[in-house]
Structure 1
Amino acid sequence: MKVVTRFAPSPTGKLHIGGARTALFNFLFAKYHSGDFLVRIENTDKNRSTIENVNSIIDSLNWLNLNPSQKIIFQTENFQRHQSVAFELLDKGFAYKCYLTENELEKLRIESRKTGIPIRSPYRNKNSKKKHDNDFVIRLKMPSSGETTINDKVQGKVKINNQILDDMVLLRKDKTPTYMLASVVDDYIMGISHIIRGDDHFNNAFRQIQIIKYLNWPIPEYTHIPLIHGQDGAKLSKRHGAKNLIEYKEMGFDPIALKNYLLLLGYSFNSEKIYNFNEDIFKFELKKINKSPSRFDEIKLINVNSNFLKKADLSYLVTKIVKDKNLKNKKLITNLSYFLPELVKRYKLLNEIESDLNWMSDEFIINKEENPIELKNKNNLKKISEVYQVLSTCDWELNNIKTSINKYIKDNNLMMKDVAPLIRLATTGKFNTPDIFNILYILGKENCLNRLKNCL
């Protein structure tokens, strides 16, 4: 059997951490089994679905490099098929027309809550008729006896009594399909072999499987994964710092690091290694999915990202920065390549490169009006002036720069800590940078002298 998985987000919102993890699990399982990973946008909720959310979901998946094997499918494209299946179930006696008004339905809901018995419409009897034959919904006729068993790869073997299943709506009065019907029909059309989704859908599986059985369709393998919680044990929400994926991108998180952290949320694997899931062979096994909810920790996510930056291939990081920051200047890109190995040791997020790109550029110069207080002190300015004179006569080689400054420090009974921070501040505008001698050498003599002179 060919493995075919799907990720089916609803564009009633943007893609968040939980959905991204579900997409990753589906992607990894299909990839390891040389199968297909498909994406379906479940846009049947016309009132709440937006194009903005659709684009955001697609952009998020592209950023994570979780690209489907085939063209993205939109659920609304299959409306006619959804409707035909509903009427097929009706014709075969597995569904019925229900004419309940909203007031009548609400009375049944109140009664159901009191008794614990699911709603059974009086129109369940197929002989029930009404004059206005268009004012109806189509409900699935659930089995009224026996049990339904699902062998879930995470939840285990679970049985329920069919008497607790309500006759769910398949088609609304306007003849648009409900999620419960559309999802099943689309999975069948797409040939989905394995359904991997959050365990908040587990109850739906016992209802949706009845459609599959009535139509003699192949039953997919079910894997319902526990939800992600916040540090307080409650379901993850915005108050836990949860953001949509585009926000994490804008903050400077790397997609490779983020995917490794997502895998940590509910999957047992060697977390010491950083995997590139699009290139590495990763043996993703459903039996290694944890049965308990995981807890999202943004501090740990930042640590994973920081660890990734320290281990990442330099060419990958340079290429990413050049693309993200739209760098064109060859000298700046050369400087970036030289300093980045040292800089990433200090970074938690790659966006921190922004302030360092400033001083790496030949155009950088400190605004006198915004000079830090250290560069307004007369004694400090005197030292900068003297360093300027020393370096102006220096033959611009790394060892010569070091020798010249060390001689100046010795001749004036100073220490390196009295001089180096001032040179660093005057040439970069920062207190914390890579080795100052390397900076002076790489930036070049004319560039450095101009920056020093500008402070005077």
Structure 2
Amino acid sequence: MTVVTRFAPSPTGYLHVGGARTALYSWLYAKSQGGKFVLRIEDTDIERSTQDAIDAILEGMEWLGLTWDEGPYYQTKRFDRYKDYVAQLLEQGKAYKCYCSRERLDELRESQMANGEKPKYDGKCRHSHEQQEGSYVIRFKNPTEGKVVINDHIRGKIEIANAELDDLIIQRSDGTPTYNFCVVIDDWEMGITHVVRGEDHINNTPRQINILEALGAPVPEYAHVSMILGDDGKKLSKRHGAVGVMQYRDDGFLPQALLNYLVRLGWSHGDQEIFSMDEMLEHFSLDGIGQSASAFNTEKLIWLNQHYIKTMPVAEVAEYAKWHFEQQGIDLSKGPSLEQVINIQADRVKTLKELAEISRYFYEDYNEFDENAAKKHLRPVAQQPLEAVKANLAAISDWNAVNIHAAINATAEQLEVGMGKIGMPLRVAATGSGNSPSLDVTLELLSFEQVAQRIDKALKYISNRANS
């Protein structure tokens, strides 16, 4: 048997982290078993489904690298298929037309709730074969005896008595099929062998299994994943920070870090925390997913992101970082290679967004000095050290970190002062702030002409300060 899994989001909003984790688990299982992964857009809720949401889902999946082997399929383009199967069930006596009015159903529900009963359709039209005037829905004739048994990969054995279920509407009065029916037909026709989805679908599963069996279709295996909670124990939402996958891209996270974090949000392999994609594929199993809800911890995600920024091949980090520099209007053609900048900045940042923010001075002159740094280090006492170090830097014939370091050291010896008296004014002059990597490697990525111009800018600042 070839394993076939699917991810089937409803396009009513962005791809959230819960959906992304479900997609990851589904994708990993298919790929680890040498199977296929199908993407299906469940857009039967026509009023709430939008093209923007579809685009956001596709963009999120592509950014995460969760490529699909088939699809994307759209349920709204398959309505004729669903209607054929509804007609088949009607013909076989496994479905029926229900003419009950909205008013009658509302009264029935209110009466049942008042009597402490579980609200469900009472089957009034189930045994009536007479054609009536007016609109109708079509209901599936659910078995009234026996039970549905689900051997869930995560939750174990789940049993639901058929007497607990009512006759599900499978086609609305306007002729459109309902979600639960579309899912059944799609899973069957697309050959889905394993359904990985959120625990909120557990109530749908016995209904879907009964329809599959009525059609003579094979029943897939199921794995219902627990929800993700915020760190306060409540359901994850916007108040906990970013919940849409592309917001994490915008905030400067690497997809590799987010995938590593999501895979561990409910699944484990010993005490291992860091997983490459190859390691995920090697070790992942549906039976290794825990039943308990998982709490989202942004601090841990940040820690993982730092790890990946520091340890991933620099060229790969640069591919993702480039977008952030462009977003901030930084022209990468006017300075060192992005790989060179990442090499000296990676240890100093938590996100790619932050990397771009603190690296602007490599590509363009700053407009003004950081106020606190200038106040502290660009004082009249710094004038002589800056003039001397500028002269020594000008004497370098081969502009590299070793020679720059030697020139700064020589200046300190020449003036008989500590390195800090040279280094800090020079750092503020060269970068506009008091924070940067080691001065020798920082200046190496700038040209001498840039450094000299910025030293002159600092000297002018000092002069203006002394005369004010």
Query: After TM superposition, is the score higher than 0.5?
Result: yes
Map 1:409-448 to 2 at 5 A: 409-448=412-451
1:410 is paired with a residue of what secondary structure? helix
Map 1:260-275 to 2 at 5 A: 260-269=260-269, 271-275=272-276
2:38 is paired with a residue of what secondary structure? strand
The CA deviation string for residues 5-56 of structure 1, in whole angstroms up to 9 with x for no partner, is 0000001111100000010011000001111100000011111011110100
Residue matched to 2:465: none
- Rate the CA distance shift 1:176–1:399 in 2: closer, same or farther, 3 A: closer
Quote the Cα distance in structure 2 between the aligned partners of 1:29 and 1:260.
Answer: 15
Consecutive unaligned residues of structure 1, counting only runs of 5 or more, are: none
Quote the Cα distance in structure 2 between the aligned partners of 1:211 and 1:200.
Answer: 19
Residue matched to 1:38: 38
- Rate the CA distance shift 1:431–1:280 in 2: closer, same or farther, 3 A: same
1:344 is paired with a residue of what secondary structure? helix
Corresponding residue to 2:394 among 392, 395, 401: 392
Matching residue's letter, 1:433: S
Contact map agreement 2:242 2:248 (CA 8 A) in 1: no
Contact map agreement 1:261 1:301 (CA 8 A) in 2: yes
Consecutive unaligned residues of structure 2, counting only runs of 5 or more, are: 461-468
Quote the Cα distance in structure 2 between the aligned partners of 1:216 and 1:88.
Answer: 12
Quote the Cα distance in structure 2 between the aligned partners of 1:416 and 1:204.
Answer: 70
Quote the Cα distance in structure 2 between the aligned partners of 1:400 and 1:95.
Answer: 85
Contact map agreement 1:231 1:295 (CA 8 A) in 2: yes
Map 1:284-295 to 2 at 5 A: 284-295=284-295
Deviation at 1:330, TM superposition (A): 5.7
Aligned residues: 451
Residue matched to 1:27: 27
Map 1:81-100 to 2 at 5 A: 81-100=81-100
| Stretch of structure 1 that moved more, 372-381 or 233-242 | 372-381
Map 1:44-443 to 2 at 5 A: 44-113=44-113, 114-117=115-118, 118-132=120-134, 135-269=135-269, 271-277=272-278, 281-322=281-322, 325=325, 332-334=335-337, 336-361=338-363, 363-367=364-368, 372-374=374-376, 377-397=379-399, 398-443=401-446
Deviation at 1:375, TM superposition (A): 6.2
Matching residue's letter, 1:414: V
State the identity %. Answer: 36
- Rate the CA distance shift 1:307–1:418 in 2: closer, same or farther, 3 A: same
| Stretch of structure 1 that moved more, 434-443 or 325-334 | 325-334
1:443 is paired with a residue of what secondary structure? coil
- Rate the CA distance shift 1:410–1:319 in 2: closer, same or farther, 3 A: same
Contact map agreement 2:344 2:441 (CA 8 A) in 1: no
What RMSD in Å do the two structures reach over aligned CA positions?
2.2
Q: TM-score scaled by structure 1?
A: 0.93
The CA deviation string for residues 137-194 of structure 1, in whole angstroms up to 9 with x for no partner, is 0111211122111111111111121111021111111011110111111111111111
Quote the Cα distance in structure 1 between the aligned partners of 2:451 and 2:105.
Answer: 79
Q: TM-score scaled by structure 2?
A: 0.90
| Stretch of structure 1 that moved more, 178-187 or 319-328 | 319-328
